[in-house]
Structure 1
Amino acid sequence: MLKDIPIEEITRVISVSAAPAFLLGAIVGMLSLLVGRLARLQDQAAAVSGVRSRGDHMQRMHRIRMALVLCVLSGIGTGLMVNLVFVDTLFGWQNNRTIVLMFIIAIVFFTLSLIFFLLEILAAARAGER
């Protein structure tokens, strides 16, 4: 059942939701970067004639795809968590552990996405040395 919420509580919930909003901004920036990099890798792979080089490009594209999936999952988790904060306040539910767990999972997914992106950067640097 809906509960009557004082304006101070609404203000508090909105301010609590500000930090995840910054995370969502970072996720959107990362997604844009990853999509651009994947498109460039696909163009390069189409232009490469050597089997080994093509295989290297495929591995690099796989890393970028993994980073994209993890980044999207992080965004979904963050969005669900923000919604749960509002629903929790609106209905008076006590889902504090669930909210914290969702935030932790979203951060883990984002961190893993960054790790896959780092692996791609290192692979690109190695490819440039050849």
Structure 2
Amino acid sequence: MEFVISTVAETIQIAIAPVFLLAGIAGLLNVLTGRLARVIDRARSLEQLHPRTTGPEHDRHVWELRRIDRRITVINLSISLVTASAIAICAVVALLFIAELSHLRIGTVVASAFIGSMVMLILGLVFFLIEVRMSLKASHIREELLERDRTRLDR
């Protein structure tokens, strides 16, 4: 009986790193869902303005709505990949215990699940970076709104 308790204690020690990784992923998911909520709020406000505008202003709203639609797609993909990564890490922890308690030699399966988790996390972070870049491109203030004094800038 004591052998099983020490085995469980050793497995818990091994599982601590993936559990900390899960905590980090939870924080990342919080950031991603917060960004998604802000993007959706902006889309809703533009959708309300859309029927009341015409001309160049209407065209800018349509352009921004298209950009927002792409951002929503990219951030949803990021959320899906990061969530799948978290699920794979949970599977790694479960497999560690199953392997240890049932004396299965599934080290390759555990390693493969962890590698898969890292690949999904990397891809999720890449899509997050893409979404941030899309946001920055769309956030530049149009030159005509800045009303710069050209004579002062030329000095």
If the length of structure 1 is used for normalisation, what is the TM-score?
A: 0.92
Match of 1:87 in 2: 98
Match of 1:35 in 2: 33
Match of 1:23 in 2: 21
Q: Which of 54, 57, 63 matches 2:68?
A: 57
1:6 CA displacement: 3.9
> CA contact under 8 A between 1:5 and 1:90: conserved in structure 2?
no
> CA contact under 8 A between 1:81 and 1:102: conserved in structure 2?
yes
If the length of structure 2 is used for normalisation, what is the TM-score?
A: 0.78
Determine whether 1:119 maps to 2:130.
Answer: yes
Q: Structure 2: give runs of 5+ residues left out of the alignment.
A: 51-60, 142-155
Separation in 2 of the partners of 1:120 and 1:70?
14
Q: Which of 85, 91, 96 matches 1:74?
A: 85
Match of 1:129 in 2: 140
More deviation, 62-71/43-52 = 43-52
Q: How many residues align?
A: 128
CA RMSD of the aligned region, Å? Answer: 1.5
Separation in 1 of the partners of 2:73 and 2:13?
38
| Runs of 4+ displaced beyond 4 Å | none
Separation in 1 of the partners of 2:32 and 2:132?
11
More deviation, 82-91/48-57 = 48-57
1:121 CA displacement: 0.7
